[in-house]
Each structure stands twice: as structure tokens, then as C-alpha cells.
């Protein structure tokens, strides 16, 4: 790739402003950026002496942006409980027992899974995130790290704002800018009002973002309203954290006044449909948010509540849930869902000028999906082009063949290039067993 790489012959989904689809297209990567995009015939003639990747029968698109995830190791072991009972019985005891080496194993596993599924950029909220930074640097994906900060009494096993600040100072914009650090607060019931105000001040000082959980439980939303006289998003506004550099996860139970506040302040939302279904939280009013102009991206949430980090699987649920909720088959078109998983996620992170679409000058964060499979057949061109529909409704992460971040190949024909996938799996297996052993004394009777 010293002289560039021409990915040629595939269907190119640019996700540019006009959602341009180039049926027999090509993308040229040079020096980590997209140097050209267009018809394969023209680019093949124009760039005769560059390395080529034949993408015939495949689809080329921007890398997926997972706008809300938690690295973790307890997949499949905390099941069939509503969100706050699940947190109390399984998740908080895990945080008490977690060590930095176990956190590193978790991050390494989850970032490998992300790459294998076509995710090139994550907003990860976890613990011991200096080790998550190590994992992201090693595996090569783009990561915005958001430490779990909690300051309520009796919860000193979480992260602190002082620790979050040190992480910003030490790792923000490291790995040639691939790794960024935001300020992050766990939840309104875990953090004091002062924590939110200080986080807002620190984010302004260090020119970084803020991430926290918007409400996913109707019971908790009602409880907060009863106790404070304010709905959750109104509380965030009172505490000074809403704005273009803030991403709220979930936001399932929103009053009209809250949606208007999100739109007015330019605050973004990370929609996590599968997690919201699994924890019986409900269905977020995504269509209404989009109609108000709110930027909405897509997140998987964590392996403990999803149980997958497969963004292509997640993609299918976004339009389906809105269609069913509103009894409107036109509610969310497939093209809108794809934009949410790419350019809109990038916009929420303040990265849309750099990634999220296949346009000349942007960083070469892109993936190739192999459509030469029964479940992705037929491939129709012309008037009935079905590339976007099949991607959203039929593809899965297992169909991703190649992944590039900043032009660097991370996955080639399903083979992870930047780390040893089997070694990662074995390390995570051992780490999970150790975590369960350490967690046992903290499980409430």
C-alpha cells in the first residue's frame, strides 16, 4: 500500500449528502485518507500502478460508529431482569471486583469483536480506561473513552472526576488522534449535582465531550420527576451538561419538553434498540427526535445487556421498532438507519469532518461487506438497487471481510491483522472466570 490501494469493482455506499450509490465503484486510499471515489472504470484507468483489492460482489461503505458501548466480560450471565435489579444484583458487584488487568482483557476482546463486525469507531464507557486506551492503540480502531464516574457515597469503586481528568491529560488525542477521552458520568442516581457541573467545566477547559446515560427506565424517570420536580433531560439542562459536545445514551422515555431541549441545545442521542428490548426498557422516540433535528446515532450498549457488539445486527432493529411503534412502514427508511450508524454517529462525536462517509479528503475508515452469500442474494442494480436494504435488513457482522482505519488494514478476508484473535479469546475466557470468582463475595443474598 506504499503507493496507495484501489478498492475496485464493488458497490460503493458513499453516505454523502445525497446518499450516492456507485454500483460499479472504486475508492482510492492514499496516505491514510480517501484520495478518490468514483466509477471503477475511470479510477482503474487513472490509477494503473497502485495495489488493488477486488471488491466484486461486495459492498464498500464507511466504517460503523458504535455510539454507546461498555466493554465487559459477563456476557450471557446476567439475564431476564429489569434494568435496576440487574444493575444491583450483577453489574455493580462486577465493578467492585474488576481489576485493571481484567479490564484490559475485556477491552481487547470487545475491540476485536467490534473490528470483526465492521465497527471502526466506538464510544466506550468502562473502568480502568488507561488500559482500554492500551487495547485500542494495539488493535487499531478509533476510540472515544468515557470512564464510569460516580461520586455518591458508598460507590467509591467507580472512577472519579480527578481520575477522568488525568486520563484526559495523559491519553486524549493519543495514537495519532485515534484515541480521545471524554468526561463521563454514570447516571443521575449515581452522581451528585456538583459532579455534573464540574464535568461541564472540565469539558470546556479541555475542549472535550461529555457522555452519560439518559433515562431508559420509565419507573426511574417517574421517580426522578417525583423527587425533583424535573424530568431527567431537564435535570441535565439545569446541571449544565447539554450541548453539541454531549451524547446521552438511551433516552427511551422522553417528554415533549425534553425532546425540545435536546433539539434546542444540539445534544446528541445514542439509540440502543436491542439493549432497550432485552431489559424491557421500551422503545425510544427516534422518529420524533429526527423530525426535530436531533442527531441520533446507534449503540449496542454492552455485552452484558445486548449480548452482542454487532452493529449490523443492531441496524435492523432501528427501522423495525419505529415502524411497529408508529404503525408506519415509512417511519425510518433503510438509508436513514445507515446514516445513523455512520455519519450521524461521527457527527455526535464531533468527527463528521473526518470520518463517517466516503468522500475525498476524509480519513480512510471504511469496510467491505461480502454479499456473495445466500442470505444477501440477489444483488440488484439499477432501478431496483437493493444494496442498502440488504445491508440493513439481511447482513451481519460475520459478512464483513475487510476493515480499514485511517487507511491501515485491520481485517483482511475475516483475519484480524493487528492482534491474535484466538489469544484474545483465551485471555478473555481466563479473565472472565477470574472475575466471577472475585465478584462472588459482592453478590447480594
Tell me what pLDDT residue 210 has: 98
Q: Residue 365's pLDDT is what?
A: 98
CB–CB of 341/365 below 8 Å? Answer: no
Query: What's the whole-number average pLDDT of the chain?
Result: 96
- Polymer length in residues for the chain: 445
- Peptide bond connecting 440 to the previous residue in cis, omega within 30 degrees of 0: no
Residue 67 C-alpha cell reads as: 455510539
Per-residue pLDDT at 1 exceeds 80: no
Band (150; pLDDT cuts 50, 70, 90): very high
pLDDT digits (tens, 9 = 90+) for 416-431: 999 999 999 999 999 9
pLDDT the model gives residue 103: 98
The pLDDT of residue 174 is above 70: yes
What fold, for 5-63+356-416? Urease, subunit C; domain 1 (2.30.40)
Least confident window among 155-159, 164-168, 419-423: 155-159
Q: Dump pLDDT digits (tens) for 360-394.
A: 999 999 999 999 999 999 999 999 999 999 999 99
Average pLDDT over residues 2-7: 88
- The predicted pLDDT at position 155 comes to 87
Residue 111 in contact with residue 139, Cβ under 8 Å? yes
- Mean pLDDT for the stretch of residues 287-305: 97
What integer is the mean pLDDT of 404-419? 98
* Model confidence at 82: pLDDT above 90: no
Tell me, letter by letter, the H, E, C secondary structure of the chain.
Answer: CCCCEEEEEEEEECCCCCCCEEEEEEEEEECCEEEEEEEHHHHHHHCCCCEEEECCCEEEEECEEEEEECCCCCCCCCCCCCHHHHHHHHHHHHHHHCCHHHHHHHHHHHHHHHHHCCEEEEEEEECCHHHHHHHHHHHCCEEEEEECECCCCCCCCCECHHHHHHHHHHHCCECCCCEEECEEECCCCCCCHHHHHHHHHHHHHHCCCEEEECCCCHHHHHHHHHHHCCCHHHHHHHCCCCCCCEEEECCCCCCHHHHHHHHHHCCEEEECHHHHHHCCCCCCCHHHHHHCCCCEEECCCCCCCCCCCCHHHHHHHHHHHHHHHHCCCCCCCHHHHHHHHCHHHHHHCCCCCCCCCCCCCCECCEEEEECCCHHHCCCCCHHHCCHHHHHHHCCCHHHEEEEEECCEEEEECCEECCCCHHHHHHHHHHHHHHHHHHHHHHCCC
In the chain, the percentage of residues whose pLDDT exceeds 70 is 100
Mean pLDDT across 8-23: 98
Q: Find the mean pLDDT for residues 271-279.
A: 96
208/409 Cα distance (integer angstroms): 28
Which pLDDT belongs to residue 199? 98
Contact by Cβ (8 Å): 98, 435: yes
pLDDT tens-place string over residues 28-47: 999 999 999 999 999 999 99
Residues of the chain with pLDDT > 90, as a percent, come to 94
Domain ranges of the chain: 5-63+356-416, 64-348
- pLDDT reading at 86 higher than 90: no
pLDDT score for 81: 82
pLDDT at 89: 86
pLDDT, position 88: 86
Mean pLDDT of 234-255: 98
Q: Which residue has the higher pLDDT, 91 or 412?
A: 412
Kindly state the cell numbers that stand for 271: 439509540
- Cα–Cα distances in angstroms (integers) from residue 370 to residues 327, 337, 418, 419, in the given order: 33, 20, 21, 22
Which CATH architecture describes the domain 64-348? Alpha-Beta Barrel (3.20)
| Contact criterion met (CB below 8 Å) for 4 and 47 | yes
Give the sign of the dihedral formed by CA 270, CA 276, CA 183, CA 103: negative
Same fold, 5-63+356-416 and 64-348: no
Residue 84 binned pLDDT confidence (cut-offs 50, 70, 90) = confident
Rg (CA), the chain: 21
Q: What is the pLDDT of residue 284?
A: 98
pLDDT confidence band for 320 (50 / 70 / 90):
very high
68: left (phi over 0), alpha (psi -120 to 50) or beta: beta
d(CA 388, CA 401): 17
Amino acid at each position: 500500500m506504499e503507493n496507495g490501494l484501489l478498492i475496485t469493482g464493488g458497490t460503493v455506499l458513499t453516505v454523502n449528502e445525497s446518499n450516492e450509490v456507485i454500483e460499479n465503484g472504486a475508492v482510492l486510499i492514499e496516505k491514510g485518507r480517501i484520495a478518490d471515489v468514483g466509477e471503477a472504470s475511470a479510477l482503474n484507468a487513472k490509477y494503473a500502478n497502485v495495489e488493488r483489492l477486488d471488491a466484486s460482489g461486495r459492498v464498500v461503505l464507511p466504517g460503523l460508529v458504535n455510539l454507546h458501548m461498555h466493554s465487559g466480560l459477563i456476557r450471557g450471565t446476567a439475564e431476564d431482569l429489569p434494568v435496576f435489579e440487574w444493575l444491583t444484583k450483577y453489574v455493580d458487584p462486577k465493578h467492585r471486583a474488576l481489576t485493571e488487568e481484567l479490564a484490559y482483557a475485556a477491552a481487547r476482546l470487545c475491540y476485536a469483536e467490534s473490528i470483526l463486525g465492521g465497527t471502526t469507531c466506538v464510544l466506550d464507557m468502562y473502568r480502568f480506561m488507561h488500559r482500554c486506551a492500551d487495547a485500542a492503540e494495539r488493535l487499531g480502531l478509533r476510540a472515544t473513552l468515557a470512564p464510569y464516574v460516580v461520586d455518591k457515597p458508598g460507590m467509591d469503586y467507580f472512577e472519579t472526576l480527578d481520575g477522568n481528568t488525568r486520563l484526559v491529560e495523559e491519553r486524549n488525542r493519543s495514537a495519532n488522534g485515534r484515541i480521545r477521552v471524554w468526561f463521563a458520568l454514570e447516571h443521575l442516581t449515581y452522581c451528585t449535582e456538583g459532579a455534573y457541573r464540574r464535568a461541564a467545566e472540565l469539558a470546556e477547559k479541555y475542549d472535550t465531550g461529555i457522555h452519560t446515560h439518559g433515562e431508559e427506565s420509565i419507573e426511574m424517570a417517574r421517580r426522578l420527576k417525583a423527587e425533583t420536580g424535573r424530568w431527567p433531560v431537564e435535570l441535565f439542562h439545569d446541571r449544565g451538561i447539554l450541548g453539541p459536545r454531549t451524547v446521552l445514551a438511551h433516552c427511551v422515555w422522553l417528554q415533549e419538553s425534553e425532546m425540545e431541549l435536546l433539539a434546542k441545545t444540539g445534544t446528541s442521542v445514542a439509540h440502543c434498540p436491542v439493549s432497550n428490548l432485552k431489559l424491557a426498557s421500551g422503545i425510544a422516540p427516534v422518529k420524533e427526535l429526527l423530525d426535530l433535528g436531533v442527531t441520533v446515532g446507534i449503540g449496542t450498549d454492552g455485552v452484558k445487556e445486548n449480548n452482542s457488539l454487532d452493529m449490523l445486527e443492531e441496524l435492523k432493529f432501528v427501522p423495525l421498532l419505529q415502524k411497529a411503534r408508529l404503525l408506519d412502514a415509512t417511519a425510518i427508511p433503510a438509508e436513514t438507519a445507515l446514516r445513523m450508524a455512520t455519519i450521524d454517529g461521527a457527527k455526535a462525536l464531533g468527527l463528521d469532518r473526518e470520518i463517517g462517509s466516503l468522500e475525498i479528503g476524509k480519513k480512510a475508515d471504511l469496510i467491505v461487506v461480502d454479499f456473495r452469500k445466500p442470505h444477501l442474494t440477489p444483488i440488484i442494480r439499477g432501478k431496483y438497487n437493493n444494496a442498502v436494504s440488504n445491508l440493513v435488513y439481511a447482513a451481519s457482522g460475520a459478512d464483513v471481510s475487510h476493515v480499514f482505519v485511517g487507511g491501515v488494514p485491520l481485517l483482511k478476508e475475516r483475519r484480524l491483522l493487528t492482534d491474535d484473535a484466538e489469544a484474545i479469546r483465551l485471555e478473555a475466557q481466563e479473565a472472565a472466570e477470574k472475575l466471577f470468582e472475585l465478584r462472588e463475595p459482592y453478590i447480594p443474598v
